């Protein structure tokens, strides 16, 4: 059963533009994470992602935690497979993929994150003249040290046990004096990275504080499993007011108003 492929030669000529590599540069501890630096020509914009092949059956979703002219950093947990890479080794990547954060022409940027999901917001710490970060964690020890942040960032901490900052959770930030509620009217853009279960609540807070917020005033990142990154597997579907959407191609950054059910 022989067959010939007329276009055999031509296959190589199509630009397969989303298959790329990055070069591992170095990694150093930044408790509770490791900061890993890669060199790459077109690193993903904040909120966009890459799929890295580290040998597992699924590629790993990488959100940049910092962007440089010549590449980007990511934060990974200790024991991560990157620790087996040697400086100069290259990593097989697909991407960049997705719709990221839009912060052009923003003056007053409000960032909202749970500490363990903070990393995709880090590239935005100096994305506007005025930046406020509301950061929540169960307890003080799970928060990064304040001196890690640029001095220009106004930092509001929330801990569930009250060990530092406002005592409570993002979910319970209803009181007028809560740092989140106070900051929403001030901001002209909100970017969040939290448990998606919080977003309907956040949408209500935004509605309550801003009456008619413009589209994309509050942009929220959804971190779910994204096996393919291109809209092929349908595993990353999330429910929105407009029906199901794919986190990988329609997100992973959505308008919070998509979650007002």
Partner 1 sequence: MIELAPNHKFGLPIATPVLPAAGVFGYGDAYRDLVDYRCLGALVTHPVSLHPRRAAYPPRIAVRGEHLLIHTGHPNPGLSAILRQYRDLWERLGVPVILHVLAGTSAEMAEVMDKLSGETAIQGIELGLDEHTSVEKALALLRSICLNSDLPVIVRVPFVGVSALASPLAEAGADALTLTSPPRGLLPLSEASDDEPLPLMRGRLYGPAVFPLLLQQLSYWIPRLPVPVIACGGITSIADARACLALGAVAVQLDAVVWRHPDLLATIAKELANDSDNATP
Residues that bind partner 1 (CB under 8 A): 1-8, 10-12, 14-19, 53, 56-59, 94, 224-225, 227-235, 237, 244
Read off the tokens for 33.
């994470």
18 binds, among ligand FES, partner 1, none (CB under 5 to 8 A by kind): partner 1
Cα separations in angstroms, 256 against 13, 197, 261: 41, 12, 11
| CB 181 to ligand FES: min, Å | 33
**CA gap 200, 209 in Å, rounded:** 14
Q: Which residues sit opposite 93 in a β-bridge? A: 20, 52
| CB 233 to partner 1: min, Å | 6
257 binds, among partner 1, ligand FES, none (CB under 5 to 8 A by kind): none
Helix axes 179-186, 199-210, angle to 10 degrees: 50
| CB 240 to partner 1: min, Å | 12
35 binds, among partner 1, ligand FES, none (CB under 5 to 8 A by kind): none
Read off the tokens for 216.
């994309």
Cα separations in angstroms, 168 against 136, 154, 171, 177: 9, 19, 8, 12
Query: Where in 215-254 is the site for ligand FES (CB under 6 A)?
Result: 226-229, 231-236, 246-248
Nearer to partner 1, 126 or 234 (CB): 234
Nearer to partner 1, 12 or 212 (CB): 12
**CA gap 110, 202 in Å, rounded:** 13
What does the binding site for ligand FES look like in residue numbers (CB under 6 A)? Answer: 226-229, 231-236, 246-248
């Amino acid at each position: 059963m022989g067959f010939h492929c007329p276009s055999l030669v031509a296959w190589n000529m199509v630009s397969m533009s989303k298959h790329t590599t990055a070069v591992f540069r170095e990694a150093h501890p930044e408790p509770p994470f490791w900061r890993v630096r890669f060199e790459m020509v077109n690193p993903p914009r904040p909120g966009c992602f890459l799929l890295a092949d580290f040998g597992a059956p699924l590629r790993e979703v990488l959100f940049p935690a910092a962007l440089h002219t010549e590449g980007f950093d990511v934060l990974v947990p200790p024991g991560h497979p990157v620790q087996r890479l040697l400086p100069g080794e290259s990593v097989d990547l697909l991407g960049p993929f997705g719709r990221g954060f839009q912060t052009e022409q923003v003056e007053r940027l409000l960032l909202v994150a749970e500490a363990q999901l903070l990393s995709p917001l880090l590239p935005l710490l100096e994305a506007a003249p005025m930046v406020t970060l509301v950061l929540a964690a169960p307890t003080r020890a799970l928060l990064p040290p304040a001196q890690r942040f640029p001095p220009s960032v106004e930092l509001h901490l929330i801990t569930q046990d009250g060990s530092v900052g406002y005592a409570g959770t993002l979910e319970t930030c209803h009181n007028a004096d809560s740092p989140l509620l106070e900051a929403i009217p001030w901001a002209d853009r909100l970017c969040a990275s939290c448990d998606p279960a919080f977003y309907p609540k956040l949408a209500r807070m935004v509605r309550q504080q801003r009456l008619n917020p413009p589209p994309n005033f509050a942009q929220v990142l959804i971190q779910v499993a994204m096996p393919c990154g291109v809209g092929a597997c349908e595993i990353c579907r999330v429910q929105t007011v407009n029906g199901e959407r794919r986190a990988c191609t329609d997100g992973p950054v959505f308008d919070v108003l998509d979650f007002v059910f």
